[in-house]
């Protein structure tokens, strides 16, 4: 679970910006708050982020995506780090960008942070937090030195791994690549437990059930029916490889990338649908997703995904994740940018409710989402500390503010009205209040 996430000098977030999933003292919807016995902390299962266009919502999502990719995939030794610092002030262009995570992993809290420039990792630290103390497992400064806690096993191997860590590479990443398991739980959290779903989909949950190995497909098909999409069921249909017109060199790369346990997703040549590739019986298999509807005579007819509405396709992207979140067995964190894209407000609200009604003290999954849907700004659905605002000031600097910080926002208050009146911030600063018509002299 995410306890907190802090960024500094990342795109529009110039100043240190702390986002926290720690619950406030309010009692509303208290039954779903997660309490960890060994820590005096209460963690929220859900958070929404509102705000106008260009306020910083998607930038927050991109920060998580960048950190995940940098930790899991790393870079080649000669590559520049594709970090994006604050660009509207020259003083910040060469300053480090900072990321700090506080995470609950296997009932243990860790704090992991790193600072980077385009050329190098300038600082990296991992701290293990107990109920009574903090243990700094390692502290790395540039590529010159690392301080390891004396309790860590295999100190020689860890020092060897550090000296083999390039300046544009994280020590956490390289130690796992060197098959040192000491810090692998933190690495694995970023690799498998953090799931990011953007506005265009292309998510891991989608590929999991087209592969045909997800037992929840039956339940997902039932949900599609209940949401009035007209779909009877989904199927993964085999696509002949030669019909994809894949370059031989790229095909060889794909064969090296996929296995029975890993899946690769590509767009077909005309970019109208996604193709999933995996290995089965030592053969590369390509599948695409198709849907079936019922005709007036009772028979079934096949639909391509391009024939389905944008809203239906968005729902298909999201349902596997919500199915997973509703299981007590998962501890994945789903971060969804523009959750409501192409979805009716009632449908979006039902998706959130389907997750929240299963949340309790044993829940270890989380849902973080950005949205413009004001019907979700409802204290009957979400607590004040589960609603945040992103806003940008006159210098182009974004910040995040929790509704819990506003003292006049009571639990019985119409929070939506206050927001639309601009009293809470996070609304577009629209300068035009008339028809958008330009005179010939203005063109």
The pair of three-digit structure tokens given for residue 223, joined into one six-digit string: 């949900």
Per-residue model confidence as pLDDT tens digits over 270-315:
666 778 888 888 888 888 889 999 999 999 999 998 899 999 989 9
Q: Of 203, 433, 238, 218, which Cα lies nearest the Cα of 341?
A: 203
CA distance 234 to 218: 9
Rounded mean pLDDT, 435-442: 54
Name the more confident of 234 and 422: 234
Domain range list for the chain: 1-199+337-443, 204-326
Residue 426, pLDDT score: 56
Alpha helices in 300-368 (DSSP H): 310-325, 345-356
Q: Are 146 and 139 in contact (CB under 8 A)?
A: yes
SS3 (DSSP) at 366: strand
Q: Is the pLDDT of residue 320 over 90?
A: no
Q: What is the CATH number of domain 1-199+337-443?
A: 3.40.50.300
> Exposed/middle/buried for 40, CB within 10 Å: 0-12, 13-18, 19+?
exposed
Residue linked to tokens 């990792």: 121
The pair of three-digit structure tokens given for residue 90, joined into one six-digit string: 């020259």
Element (H, E) at 7: strand 2-8
CA distance 192 to 333: 9
Per-residue model confidence as pLDDT tens digits over 215-239:
667 888 888 888 989 999 888 888 8
Residue 48 phi, psi (nearest 5)? -115, 145
Per-residue model confidence as pLDDT tens digits over 188-215:
999 999 999 988 765 555 555 565 555 6
């Amino acid at each position: 679970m995410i306890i907190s996430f802090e960024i500094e000098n990342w795109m529009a977030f110039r100043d240190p910006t702390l986002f926290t999933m720690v619950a406030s003292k309010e009692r509303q919807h208290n039954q779903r708050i997660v309490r960890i016995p060994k820590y005096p902390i209460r963690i929220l299962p859900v958070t929404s982020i509102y705000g106008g266009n260009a306020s910083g919502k998607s930038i927050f999502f991109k920060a998580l995506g960048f950190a995940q990719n940098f930790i899991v995939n790393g870079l080649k030794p000669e590559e520049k780090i594709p970090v994006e610092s604050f660009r509207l002030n020259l003083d910040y262009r060469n300053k480090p960008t900072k990321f700090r995570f506080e995470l609950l992993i296997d009932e243990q809290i860790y704090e992991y942070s790193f600072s980077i420039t385009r050329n190098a990792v300038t600082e990296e630290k991992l701290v293990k937090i107990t109920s009574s103390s903090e243990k700094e497992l390692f502290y790395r400064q540039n590529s010159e030195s690392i301080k390891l806690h004396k309790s860590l096993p295999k100190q020689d191997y860890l020092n060897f791994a550090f000296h083999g860590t390039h300046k544009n590479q994280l020590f956490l990443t390289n130690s796992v690549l060197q098959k040192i398991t000491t810090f692998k739980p933190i690495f694995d959290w970023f690799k498998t437990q953090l799931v990011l779903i953007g506005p265009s989909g292309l998510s891991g949950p989608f590929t999991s059930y087209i592969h045909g190995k997800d037992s929840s497909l039956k339940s997902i098909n039932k949900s599609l029916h209940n949401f009035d999409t007209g779909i009877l069921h989904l199927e993964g249909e085999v696509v002949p490889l030669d019909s994809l017109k894949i370059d031989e060199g790229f095909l060889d790369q794909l064969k090296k990338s996929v296995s029975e346990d890993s899946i690769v997703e590509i767009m077909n040549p005309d970019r109208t649908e996604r193709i999933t590739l995996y290995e089965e019986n030592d053969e590369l298999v390509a599948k695409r997703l198709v849907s079936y509807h019922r005709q007036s005579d009772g028979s079934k007819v096949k639909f391509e995904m391009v024939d389905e509405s944008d809203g239906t396709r968005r729902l298909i992207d999201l349902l596997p994740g919500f199915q997973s979140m509703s299981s007590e067995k998962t501890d994945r964190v789903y971060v969804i940018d523009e959750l409501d894209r192409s979805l009716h407000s009632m449908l979006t609200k039902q998706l959130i409710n389907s997750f929240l009604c299963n949340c309790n003290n044993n829940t270890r999954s989380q849902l973080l989402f950005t949205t413009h849907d004001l019907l979700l700004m409802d204290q009957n659905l979400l607590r004040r500390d589960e609603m945040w605002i992103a806003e940008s000031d006159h210098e182009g600097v974004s910040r995040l503010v929790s509704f819990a910080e506003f003292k006049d926002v009571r639990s019985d208050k119409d929070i939506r009205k206050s927001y639309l009146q601009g009293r809470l911030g996070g609304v577009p600063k629209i300068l035009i209040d008339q028809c958008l018509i330009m005179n010939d002299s203005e063109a």
